[in-house]
Each structure stands twice: as structure tokens, then as C-alpha cells.
Amino acid sequence: MSLQVEDALVDATTEKRRSPTRTRLWGVLLAPPAIWMIVFFISSIAIVVMLSFGHVNDVGKAVFGFSLDNYKALADPVYLKVLLRSAMFAIATTVISLVLGYPVAYTIALHGGKYKNALVAFLVIPFFASYLIRMYAWSTLLADEGLVNQLLRDTGLTEGIRFLNTPGAVVAGLVYGSIVFMVLPIYASLERMDTALIEAGKDLYHSPLQTFFAVTVPATRAGMLGGVLLVFLPALGDFVSAQLLGGPSTYMIGNLIQQQFFEGHDQPLGSALTVVLMLALLVFMVFYLRATQRVNRET
Amino acid sequence: MTEPSLSFNRRDFLRGSFGVGAAAALAACGFSGDSATPSTSASASAAAPMAQAKVDGDLVYYNWADYCDPTVLSGFKEKYGVNIIEANYDGYAGMLAKIQAGNAYDVALPGARYVELMRKQGLIQKIDKSQLKNADQLFGWGSYFDNPWYDPNSDYSTPFSMWTTGIAYRKDKVTTASGTWQDLWNEQAKGHIYVLDEDDEALGMAALKLGLDVNTANPDDLAKIKDVLISQKPYLRAYSTDDINNLASGNAWIHHAWSGDFLNFINNTATDPENWVYELPTDGSPLNSDAWVIPANAPHPGTALLWLDWIMQPDNVEKNINYIAYPLLSKSGPDIYAKMAANYPSLEVDVSKVVNPTVYKNHNATDQAARNAVWTEVKAA
């Protein structure tokens, strides 16, 4: 194999056109990630798809089968209701992340100066701790008799505020968990943008705000679309935020899937739900791909 | 800049990967066709030779978090010179799912009905009681657990702890408790009430309130249970099994809770123990138990047997009761617990009542699906 690699290197330097040896090298390099994907990603999806046509036997064991019963069970309006609720939460999360995240990315990219990289690093630091741990931390801080409410009571302004177990808390948790995925792509596209464009906009008698919407926003559309995708998709499938910060009526599709797997003893039904969710996400993915293609054509 | 071209295109690559992936899934996964009926898998594991109680590796230990005195764990490590690799679950169904998926543990602690399920699925191995020096602490003195309902002759399990499910509330906020399950609909605590996030517990609570069987799968009963649980939602803060933390954080004024967790909270966490009441509703209270098992695929069944023996040694029983605040089901356990809970008559757990209609039982697939659907609709509503 080392011989092949050497060959390939020689080929690569001496020959500009592709050769069979060179493609073999790429094939070899592709093998580990391909095996990784097959073992840990594709096979698990395949199991989920196959299991979604199965059922649970009388001793509670999931078995494969060829029935559509699980999909028929999903016709129950309760699932549509939860899916819509999840979509609302995910849309709210995405919009809030965009509105909060854009100024952050803008400030770092255009006014960060020599601290730019340090500022980006600071944004990422909270991610050193797991999402779950941070959610637990929030639920401790914001509890009715937690630190924040104690401080509020000490000020004498309020008797304390109920933060937790509300739809707002779920969305706040989602925003907190994913906003950095909005900031980073926007930051990257702002970084790449030629600031001379902004100067040009001002030279053409645009106000700063007009320049922002006519020049900066279109130039960073690809970054925004990337951010929207990275925030929306995980938010739609999330269950941690609703589990730890939610109330009795904030159940999301992710919670429902988790319940089927871990509580309902019905992994086939959970699999069918997963497949439906994946198909729904696929629709957004196609929308995203088309939108980015349009952006690419325009620029 | 041109991308390096490949002799195979992306689509071929994906198609090939998916094909191999599907094959790998079929080959590797823990699920099977209907052929794996309980009888064949049970006889398969019964035919395997039973393990001997001697060290054959570290102990891979699977339990609730914090459900064992740390000194009992460290004592085991010292005595046998092994490490304990600890994993935790937050619900029996999750534990079962992990073991079904093929994760290998040496010991696990399922609830009674899960012991039955795991036995029928061939997931746990027979335990040779002659290998356990302290077996006389658990069996042979007239204990109900010589032959419990979930495991004839306790062939596949050793009983551990027992508890009731009731209601915890704080007196400074709630003065109008009625002593029945109606307290989980209390107007004073509206928005500060928690119900245990477990299908059996929630459905069982509603059933008792309605005067029905906790294990009912009758469609009319289930419809009533669903309605009554949905009528409760405006009163609830959340569904959660994290009762100790919800009581400690002040979020819960009333909590559907397990007896042992309440006593644990009073003993270890509460800053004002006198302020808290545990009430055993007069319309009936669930009483359930759990037991240690050795999974069929345990990598070190010898060390696992030593653990089962260790955990029933009288001094360790006492340490554990003091730590977890649940009565343990050995000869000495109930008395030690009774002393500890003496100030709280409602926390009394009467071992002789374990054969009662409020024990959670297993269901056939249709009934389980019907109960599951009700719980899903309640939580999604």
C-alpha cells in the first residue's frame, strides 16, 4: 500500500491529469470515513427504517415485520399537534437566534479588530460543557427558590418570577443551546465580505441602515441560510430543553420519540415517528439546497 | 479550482454505502423475527452452566444514580480487589432498552415487572443460590420473596427494596389537603404540582382516584383515565421523576412521589423537615419492589454473584437503608427501616402487603399499546 501511496504522490506531482492510481489513492483515503458512516450512521438509520414496519410482541420485545400499522397509528391528530408545536418552537428559536446572533457576528467581524479570534473563542467556550449540564445549571439558577429569584426578591421589586416549565423557557433553552450555530456562519460570511462594498453603498448616498439592508444582508445571505438550517433542524428534533425546562404542555416531537423508545416500550412506533420526522426535515433540507443554489447563481 | 475527480461518483458511493449499511444492520442488530419466543430463549439461557461466585473481572454495575451507599461500593472494591464500572439509568424502560440493545452489564436493578419481562425475554441468567453465603438473609425464613409473583422461586433475581407511591406536600403552602389523590388537583397549589413522569405511576394514580384497577387496559376505563389526567394539566407544573430536586428547588409545593425519595429528601436535603408531609392517599396507594439481576450477557457473572452476596450482608443492608432511605427486603431490613421512619407513620412500608392489587403488572402487546397511547395523548395534550 505504501508503494501505491508513493506512486500516487509521484503521479500527483508529475501528472496534472487524473490517473487510475491517483483515484485509487482517494478511494483508499475514503475508506475509513465510509466504513465509519456505514457502521454508525447508515446502519442505524436502516435499523430505524426496518423497525418502523415491525411490532412489539407479548413479552415487550420489538420484532421486525412488514406492517404499516405504526404509520397508520401516526394518523392520530395528537401527533400532528405535537409536530406543529415543535415547528412553532423551532421557528421561534430560529428567528430569535437570527435577530440576536446577527449583531453579535457583525460586531465581531467588523469591529473585533485584533480581538476577533479571541471573541469567537469566547463564544465557543460554553460548549466545552455538555448541553445537558448547562440545561441543568439553568434549571437550578432559575428555580422558584433559585439564585436568580432570591436576588430578585432581595431587590424587593417582585415576589419572584416563574421562569421554568413554560413554553418561553423551552424556546430560551433552545436559543441558548444553538445560537452559536447561527453566529458562526454569519460571522464567516461577514469576514469574507469586502468591506469596500459598504463604503460604496455609503458613497451612493445610502444611509447606514439602507446600506445594511441593500449591501450587507444580501452579501451574507448564504451565511444566514446556513445558520437557519443549523439552528432549525436540531431545534425541531430536540427533547432536552422541553424535558428539563418545559411544563406539562410543552411536549415536542423529540420527547414523543424518546417516550416511545424508553417508556412506551414501543420502539417500532418510535421508529415510525423518527422516519416521519426525518422526511419532514428532508423537505427543509431541499428548500435549503435550492435557496443556496439561488444565492450562488446570483453572486 | 477543480475538485479531484473520483472513478466512482457520489451517488454510487452513497448507494453502495447504504446497501452495505442495511446488511450490517441486519447482521448486527439485537432485534429478531418472531421466532425468538419466550420459551426458546428462556430454555437457551437455562441450559447455560450457572456461574460460580468468584472474581472473574471488574464489576460492570447498572443502577439508579445514587441508589447505593458509596461505602458499600468502596468496601466491595477493597474486599475483592476489583474496580466498579458504574452506569446509571433514570427509568426502568430505558434500562431495559439498553440491555435489549446488547449493552453488557454484570448486575442491574429492575423493578418487579421488568424482572418478569427480562426473564421472559431471556435477558437474565439463573442465579445459583448455593453460591450466595448470605442467601439466608433473603430466603427461607418465610419471606414472601421466596416465591414472588414476578419470578417463581426467585430463580433469576434477588429482591432488594420496596416503596409506596404517595403525595408529598409542604404545609406552609398547602393547608387544604384532603388525604386523597384529589390533592394532585389542589387549588392552593395550582401550577406548583408535579406528577411522576412514568406511565404506570400516572395511569395508576388516575385509576385509583377513579376507583379502577391500576393495571386496567379496558378501553372505557382508559378513556376515563385519559380525561381525568387531561383535566389535571392546568394544575401541573410539569411531569418529572426527579422528585427530590423538585422538592428541594421550591418548584414543587405538591409532588406525586416515592416514599423512599421523600424520606431521603427529609433526611439529607430539606432545610425545614417539619414543613413537609408524605401522605398515603386513602383511595389506595401503589406498592412496588425491585430486585437485582445478572444479565444473560454479563461479562463477569462470578463477580456479579459476589456483589449480590455483598449487598445482602447485614452490615451493608444497614448502611444502605440509612443512605437510600428505602426498606430493604432482607431479614433485618424492615426493622432498621421502621426505626428510621418511626416519626412518619405514612412512610411505613408493610412488606406483607406486597401481594396486593396495586402492584404494576405486565400486559400483552395490545393492552400495553392501548395504555401507551393514553399516556402519549395525555402528555401531548
Q: d(Cα A297, Cα B16) in Å, to the nearest integer?
A: 31
Say whether B223 sits in a helix, a strand or coil: helix
Residue B5 has pLDDT above 50, yes or no: no
Q: Per-residue DSSP letters for A219-251?
A: HTHHHHHHHHHHHHHHHHH--HHHHHH--TT--
Inspect the interface and report whether the beta carbons of B31 and A255 lie closer than 8 Å: no
Inspect the interface and report whether the beta carbons of B249 and A246 lie closer than 8 Å: no
Inspect the interface and report whether the beta carbons of B121 and A59 lie closer than 8 Å: yes
Q: Please name each of the domains of chain A with its CATH number.
A: 74-298 (1.10.3720.10)
For residues B139 and B61, the answer to whether their CB atoms sit within 8 Å is no
Inspect the interface and report whether the beta carbons of B24 and A38 lie closer than 8 Å: yes
At a CB cut-off of 8 Å and minimum separation 6, what does A31 contact? none
Name the closest residue on chain B to residue A76, using Cα atoms. B377
The pLDDT score that the predictor gives to residue A23 is 73
The pLDDT score that the predictor gives to residue B38 is 41
Least confident of B13-22, B81-90, B323-332: B13-22
Which of chain B's residues have a Cβ under 8 Å away from the Cβ of A30? 6, 13
The shortest CB-CB distance from A34 to any of B17, B373, B381 is to B17
Inspect the interface and report whether the beta carbons of A60 and B375 lie closer than 8 Å: no
More confident: B47 or A286: A286
Which of chain A's residues have a Cβ under 8 Å away from the Cβ of B236? 247-248
Which of chain A's residues have a Cβ under 8 Å away from the Cβ of B372? 260, 264-266, 269
For residues B286 and B166, the answer to whether their CB atoms sit within 8 Å is no
Q: Please name each of the domains of chain B with its CATH number.
A: 38-157+293-312 (3.40.190.10), 163-287+359-380 (3.40.190.10)
Q: d(Cα B99, Cα B50) in Å, to the nearest integer?
A: 20
Which of chain A's residues have a Cβ under 8 Å away from the Cβ of B26? 46, 50
| Closest CA–CA distance from residue A56 to any residue of chain B (Å) | 6
**Which residue in the block uniquely carries the three cell numbers 421561534?**
A92
Inspect the interface and report whether the beta carbons of B6 and A139 lie closer than 8 Å: no
The pLDDT score that the predictor gives to residue A12 is 47
For residues A247 and A166, the answer to whether their CB atoms sit within 8 Å is yes
Name the closest residue on chain B to residue A84, using Cα atoms. B380
Residue B201 has pLDDT above 80, yes or no: yes
Name the closest residue on chain B to residue A269, using Cα atoms. B369
Inspect the interface and report whether the beta carbons of A26 and B4 lie closer than 8 Å: yes
Q: Count helices and strands (H / E) in chain A.
A: 16, 2
The separation between CA B153 and the C-alpha centre of its own chain, rounded to angstroms, equals 21
| Closest CA–CA distance from residue B272 to any residue of chain A (Å) | 14
Inspect the interface and report whether the beta carbons of B236 and A247 lie closer than 8 Å: yes
Give the tens place of pLDDT for each residue, B118-166: 999 999 999 999 999 999 999 999 899 999 999 999 999 999 999 999 9
Over its length of 299 residues, how does chain A's per-residue pLDDT go in tens digits? 444 544 544 444 444 555 666 678 888 888 888 898 888 889 999 999 999 999 998 888 889 999 999 999 898 899 999 999 999 999 999 999 999 999 999 999 999 989 999 999 999 998 888 888 988 888 999 999 889 999 999 998 888 889 999 999 999 999 999 999 999 999 999 999 988 888 888 888 888 899 999 999 999 999 999 999 999 999 999 999 999 999 999 999 999 998 888 876 788 999 999 999 999 889 888 988 888 888 777 76
Instruction: Please state whether the predicted TM-score (pTM) of the whole model is above 0.90.
Output: no
| Closest CA–CA distance from residue B332 to any residue of chain A (Å) | 34
The pLDDT score that the predictor gives to residue A19 is 61
User: Highest mean pLDDT: which of B70-74, B338-342, B362-366?
Assistant: B70-74
ipTM for this prediction: 0.81
Inspect the interface and report whether the beta carbons of A46 and B25 lie closer than 8 Å: yes
**Which residue in the block uniquely carries the three cell numbers 428462556?**
B42
The amino acid that residue B2 corresponds to is: T
Name the closest residue on chain B to residue A162, using Cα atoms. B251
The pLDDT score that the predictor gives to residue B7 is 42
The shortest CB-CB distance from B369 to any of A146, A261, A266 is to A266
Residue B26 has pLDDT above 50, yes or no: no
Inspect the interface and report whether the beta carbons of B8 and A248 lie closer than 8 Å: no
The pLDDT score that the predictor gives to residue A20 is 62
Which residues of B2-58 form beta strands (DSSP E)?
none
Name the closest residue on chain B to residue A21, using Cα atoms. B7
The amino acid that residue A97 corresponds to is: S
Inspect the interface and report whether the beta carbons of A78 and B376 lie closer than 8 Å: yes
Q: d(Cα A277, Cα A254) in Å, to the nearest integer?
A: 9
The pLDDT score that the predictor gives to residue A3 is 45
Q: How many CB atoms lie within 10 A of CB B40?
A: 10
The pLDDT score that the predictor gives to residue B132 is 95
